[in-house]
Structure 1
């Protein structure tokens, strides 16, 4: 790879500027580095904590690998907490893209404060001492989120809350304020980019976590009512927004009117979507079931607090960061959408990749994480199995062979209820029907007195005409009964020929079932009558 002196000489010869990307091996930063190299305007200094840069196969053979070989990109191992190392990285640079930050899931105040706040102070000091012209800071929409109130179409007029949702948001807000207040010092122009919920190829958090949860059977649940809306941002659009910001700072007006510098900017795909629908699209695209079971936030939150307390006690002994924390539950259940008007007007930002395209590209990039066994509903049933042919009836086959999961599950629950309420209890058929009717009436009565909303869920009222039966329905039922009778006669005719053994076996099993059921019912009825008379005689 080229040396730093060779790189600086090439910059002067080719007229390229020199820019720095801190945290340059992070998810969004990698995409920004590639776009900066592809623009052919910059020699890029990639600053990160690792002692040396390690490329994967795609990077080795791609733009980044070639740029490192030719000297258009140079890797610097630097700890932002060490001011002397930051000064070395920024020396001779004209632009700094400050993207470094600890993992947001790590709940360690000392780590976040030292890297995010103190590290940003060192970057600002280095920019001023090294005469850097522009500093673009990667912030987060969470700097205005308190974890309690949802944000709908929020703009940059939102203030920092008195209490943030987590340590990551709190330190990010403090660092952002430092950057914006430093605008204009010694000629340094600054701004802050707030990309919302970044996703795309190369992400090591969102998609891998989703797949891990799906494989562990934990992705079936929706926290809250599932109606909360989110703004997601494809990673290439995030990189594009940073480049737009750098270009906008070039045209900063002297009088400050309509100037891009000194401001924060929300960046999204400008296509709000339900949070859980977005997650479902990713899961289904990779062959996993979408979440369907709703769990109220009030039920999950106490568990999350307990998990967080256990983590604080056991973290020193090696316990990994839990997925279920109060701050994360709030993020999963609140609405968070943001207005990009300021970025459009002052930065000239417009998303390059639409949300649907971004989701498809993300799914394609994680083909190695696809489900090994495809979902049942996606299986090919064009060629019926031997069992399917033997059963004969399509609807019955779909239920027995689990081809229609909802119907199969419903039938199983019904059979379990019948078995419990009828066979094991010893009740007669009429008493079971009476109990079921009583239960149904009780449920209807309770439903009628419930409030219109509970635990964030809307209680829908049953309209009065819901149980009315139309003349067409009566006619249809009559026709169905008549058709069933005629089908039974046809079966008897077929059995009389003595050739269809499959039909004979199915009919025999069905009749034996009814025989056991009715004998059990009649026996209980007769015994109840005898017991009643015996009690009367004993009383006399």
Structure 2
């Protein structure tokens, strides 16, 4: 963005100046060399991050081109003091939108905005740019496709944040023209980028907790995201247009504008790109929104009951479920025509910059493979028994349960059970083949013909595996015949005792106990591999000591 010539003596102020988007706007304003910037926020003093200290903000604070003022918007006197001698105010302060606390949001968004407007008029501020939200036109039920600024405010809002932001926006637009004050509202959609403290950290926390694998809804809902530098640029475009004082300023004054990257994308695809970029798995399990809503209401109720005892704000709330499953896209044509806004950073570049900035949150790339995973072949069997592929594991469990029901619990003969099982399989395959590829927005995965093909290579591998197993058995017999490998002898004895024990059980009991034990046993071994191996090593050591002792006694007797 080209710098504009100016004496650099004019002051602008940013409320919430230490917020996510505000930090980027501060830097953009300082780089323009047009403004001195007054950073207004709640903290008693400004604490710069290392990259800020050596960057444009740190240099500006040292040279006097920027200043920090601590102020609470709920106190008009503090706000007026912060705005003294200011020409332009960018009002960006707002509480965390994820906290559904009406009193907090109303006191800051509505009460604080009233104080900002009054202070602007008192201090003879010329222009006020307010950072609003697209949520001011979202009712939480109906999706929005290519929304225009002509959309009315809903009768009922999705949450207290949206409701109070809409009320604040109305105040700012109505204040246009009072004592020469020109106002404008910017509605940036779903801001992302470096410095974000909500979206990416929450995604990573969910991924590390194993909760990022779920998609709420059908996963096809389109969304408009906005890279943070584009949001900052939109504020500057609006201010510059108002500053012209001509016909353009008259058109823009008292108006609201949607701001996006003008590149709609599926919401869950966007989340997947961030997770993949940081080394985590893409979400893949779809859960219908109506299924999640009762759970979300219950979580919200529990929070209301126990928040006074320090319970943290839950991630799963009804308003968030609606946001994650609805379509929300907006038109930027009005912003383009009126204030000359065009994105200066593409969605692809914005994603790359965002992912690079969160390199410290990347997944651990090299994780030690457990022994049991290696023993099971590192492929489908291991993924199934260890629940690495939950879909495959669930299908296997259901299949094994069906086998138990048809072969062991029903009392059928083997021939009858096989016939019924094959009939059921044939019915499933036939119905599955008739289904369309998409039902009610959900994709139906079709099995490719290769799924039923047993290749020559697989046949060779199977034959090699059988041959290898036979050779191993022969090798064991040879070792036993030599009479020297006590360790091998003990393993054979223990194995045969186990087989003998299982042989005393009925086939039905063996199946009922063996299959669950297999799934549970390998899972437990992977979780506590080192502890179990340590215990076996200690037992083995004691057995070897006993072996040595017995051998010595035997030699003495000879």
> TM (normalized to structure 1)?
0.77
1:66 has 2:47 as partner? no
**In 1, distance between residues paired with 2:333 and 2:138?**
19
The aligned residue for residue 528 of structure 1 is: none
The aligned residue for residue 211 of structure 2 is: 218
Cα separation, partners in 2 of 1:177 and 1:493, compared to 1, 3 Å: closer
Pairwise CA distance, 1:107: 1.4
Given that 1:287 and 1:375 are in contact with CA atoms closer than 8 Å, whether structure 2 keeps it comes out as no
The aligned residue for residue 508 of structure 1 is: none
1:119 is aligned, of 112, 115, 119, to 112
1:399 has 2:375 as partner? no
1:342 has 2:326 as partner? no
**In 1, distance between residues paired with 2:140 and 2:102?**
18
Pairwise CA distance, 1:130: 1.1
The aligned residue for residue 524 of structure 1 is: none
Pairwise CA distance, 1:184: 1.2
1:440-461 CA deviation, whole Å, 9 max, x = no partner? Answer: 466579879999997x545869
Given that 2:243 and 2:249 are in contact with CA atoms closer than 8 Å, whether structure 1 keeps it comes out as no
Cα separation, partners in 2 of 1:213 and 1:494, compared to 1, 3 Å: closer
1:165 has 2:158 as partner? yes
Given that 1:220 and 1:289 are in contact with CA atoms closer than 8 Å, whether structure 2 keeps it comes out as yes
**In 1, distance between residues paired with 2:82 and 2:23?**
17
The aligned residue for residue 439 of structure 1 is: 424
Pairwise CA distance, 1:313: 1.1
The aligned residue for residue 90 of structure 2 is: 97
Pairwise CA distance, 1:410: 8.3
Pairwise CA distance, 1:219: 0.6
Matches within 5 A, 1:83-482: 83-253=76-246, 259-373=251-365, 398-400=379-381, 402=383, 409=393, 413=397, 416-417=400-401, 420-421=404-405, 425=409, 429-440=414-425, 443=428, 456-458=440-442
The aligned residue for residue 55 of structure 1 is: 48
Cα separation, partners in 2 of 1:255 and 1:150, compared to 1, 3 Å: closer
1:38-70 CA deviation, whole Å, 9 max, x = no partner? Answer: 111111000001111111111111111111111
Pairwise CA distance, 1:400: 4.8
Given that 2:89 and 2:127 are in contact with CA atoms closer than 8 Å, whether structure 1 keeps it comes out as yes
What SS is found at the alignment partner of 2:68?
Answer: strand
1:186-214 CA deviation, whole Å, 9 max, x = no partner? Answer: 11111000000000110111111111111
Which consecutive residues of structure 2, in runs of 5 or more, have no partner in the other structure? 1-5, 478-498, 509-558
**In 2, distance between residues paired with 1:332 and 1:493?**
53
Given that 1:99 and 1:137 are in contact with CA atoms closer than 8 Å, whether structure 2 keeps it comes out as yes
**In 2, distance between residues paired with 1:154 and 1:323?**
27
Size of the alignment, in residue pairs? 475
Given that 2:218 and 2:442 are in contact with CA atoms closer than 8 Å, whether structure 1 keeps it comes out as no
Report which stretch shifted further, 246-255 or 421-430: 421-430
What SS is found at the alignment partner of 1:194?
Answer: strand
Pairwise CA distance, 1:251: 2.6
What SS is found at the alignment partner of 1:307?
Answer: helix
**In 2, distance between residues paired with 1:414 and 1:348?**
59
**In 2, distance between residues paired with 1:120 and 1:414?**
58
The aligned residue for residue 486 of structure 2 is: none
1:345-388 CA deviation, whole Å, 9 max, x = no partner? Answer: 11111111111111111111111111124599xx9xxxxx9x98
Cα separation, partners in 2 of 1:40 and 1:302, compared to 1, 3 Å: same
**In 2, distance between residues paired with 1:422 and 1:445?**
21
**In 2, distance between residues paired with 1:352 and 1:334?**
27
Cα separation, partners in 2 of 1:156 and 1:492, compared to 1, 3 Å: closer
1:267-312 CA deviation, whole Å, 9 max, x = no partner? Answer: 0001100000100111111111111111111111001001111111
Report which stretch shifted further, 34-43 or 442-451: 442-451
Which consecutive residues of structure 1, in runs of 5 or more, have no partner in the other structure? 1-12, 380-384, 503-511, 522-540
**In 1, distance between residues paired with 2:461 and 2:175?**
88
Pairwise CA distance, 1:398: 3.8
**In 1, distance between residues paired with 2:380 and 2:164?**
55
**In 2, distance between residues paired with 1:250 and 1:349?**
15
Pairwise CA distance, 1:419: 6.2
The aligned residue for residue 16 of structure 1 is: 9
What SS is found at the alignment partner of 2:69?
Answer: strand
